[in-house]
Amino acid sequence: MKINVLIFTFLCFNISLFSQEFIYGGNIGNWVHDFAIDMDKTSDGSLIMTVDNQARYWTGGQYASDTFFGLHKIDKAGRLVWNFDFFRQKNGFEEYSISQTTLDENDNIYALIYTYQKDNPDTINGIVVYPGLNVAKIDPQGKPLWFRKIGTTDNNGSSILYKNGHLYVVSLYEGNITLGNKNLSSNNYYQCFMWMNMQGSDYLISKFDSNGNFINAISTGEDYPDIAIDATIDDNENIYFTGVSDYFAGCINAYSHITKVDKDLNIVWKKTISMQYNYDGLFYPTNIYLAKNQKLYVWGNFYQKDANIFNLNITCDCSSSGGYFGSCLLEINSTEGEYLRKMQLNNCSVNSNYGGSEDIRKHFTNGYMDELDGNLMVHTAFTGTLLIGDTTINSTYYTDFYNYNLQNLLLLSVSFNDLTPKHIATFTGDAKSYNFPGKIIADNNHNLYVSGTFSDNPLYVANSPIINNSGNNNYDVFYCKLLFNSQTSKINEIYQNKLEPEVYPNPCSTSLKYRNAEGIDKVRIIDLNGKIITEQEVTEENINVKSLNPGTYLIQLFDGDKMISKKIIIKK
């Protein structure tokens, strides 16, 4: 398993006047397909990364015996601490996969583990692992502690949630299942095109304590097949999950929905988001986030030009860009489940990151969300030309026989006041394929951790390159840490007894002068594309800017290697 890490600090300044400092970045991957699945942050700032490493199929031209469907710990400096090699391949088969992880207050990891090609239990490190879906507890050092059988035969869209010493799993199952003292059966349905009765998939919501002891489970769903998509939980242990029903039966109507379940697994409410005949214009809710304002934010995609969402007709014309999907962000009242507002994005994203999966979270362009400095951050993707407010951005373009736009990663800031989006950054590079967003995590120190799947080589994040391991523009997983609002208290604490250094006049024409510049020994000027125009030692009273082209620049003042101040200047 190859992991490259890039660790340095670089200030990126873009036209929207948002800035980020690149703290570190790295990749996890091998020579073929690797995909970002999940990411969690521990109490000490380390990351737990879940990766689908499909290179296992290609080692030495045969099925791999020494590659992993991986769980990785990355320390707070961006370096690999361990990878969970429990997921080693055996006998050329895909033995194990992870669908999602969560952490408790002691940084123990709870993971949903799915075993393939199994009719009987397996033993790993002396611990029994059952066929189908399992809940695993793994300590902070990567040692498995126990596994608990759920046993469902469908892993797609499964979610695991932790709150107040309890684990909740939202998954799918077909047929009959026994879990603890519960005997559950999914609904049968009549398959219209095959003219026969079939067993459909239903939702299974199960509850355990932190030691894996079974507490409760319920089954819910339609007569026709259901599919799970995403779930979240509040402080009172209410669960909110999204799904689509009649996903495969193909009879008359399909509809997407959101459901609230309380800690005793009683259904509080269920709301229809979108219903369409034969899936035309159906809204697929790929991600759900519960904000501090106790409102739910649901991100989703729709394929047709027109979609019906909460009885609103939404139009997205992506025909000119070669893309397929438009996206919407929905704001929903978490108490009653009532629709409040929407934000539409004609991002024209591609429909799939890799074929063969029935998991909508992997099949559609996601919009991963978290809160940073009072705004909702969204990590998604787009192709072609996208207008966000007054800002026009364009994806990269690959010229070959077909001449098509690529899919680039997009970071947005969305105001909670009016759902107005702002363009923060576009992550891109030189590729012949697509990039797909991964989970983001914000903390209280203005940091944003970003993950995703990329084929660029390199991928530029805040103008800093992350190298692709594949060597042939195949998919790798990246992770990075960005610092926003970088004039933080640490700098202010060191220089709290000094007046902040300044440069003037602004706007300027030929030169800049210093004020309160004691201890400053270096100055750097950067253009709007992040390019360093000049860097010079402070030996004179003036900074010569006569040779700069008219425009807007960023100036940084340094004491040694520590940046003390940064200012926007305008050259006339």
Summarize pLDDT for 482-508 with one digit per residue, the tens: 998 644 333 333 333 445 677 778 788
At residue 293, the pLDDT reads 94
Amino acid identity for residue 299 in this structure? W
Amino acid identity for residue 141 in this structure? Q
pLDDT tops 90 at residue 248 = no
Band (pLDDT 50/70/90 cuts) for residue 86 is low
Band (pLDDT 50/70/90 cuts) for residue 529 is low
Burial class for 430, CB neighbours closer than 10 Å (0-12, 13-18, 19+)? middle
Gap between the Cα atoms of 570 and 572, Å rounded: 6
In this structure, are residues 346 and 323 in contact, taking their beta carbons and an 8 Å threshold? no
List the one residue out of 493, 495, 505, 485 whose CA is nearest residue 559: 495
List the one residue out of 313, 293, 302, 456 whose CA is nearest residue 367: 302
End-to-end CA distance of the chain, in Å? 52
Task: Point out the least confidently predicted range of 79-93, 214-228, 386-400, 417-431.
Answer: 79-93
Band (pLDDT 50/70/90 cuts) for residue 462 is confident
Question: What three-state secondary structure class fits 251?
Answer: coil
pLDDT in tens, 1-35: 455 555 444 333 333 335 788 899 998 876 667 88
- Average pLDDT of 326-353? 87
Q: Which residue has the higher pLDDT, 463 or 194?
A: 463
At residue 63, the pLDDT reads 41
Amino acid identity for residue 327 in this structure? S
In this structure, are residues 509 and 572 in contact, taking their beta carbons and an 8 Å threshold? yes
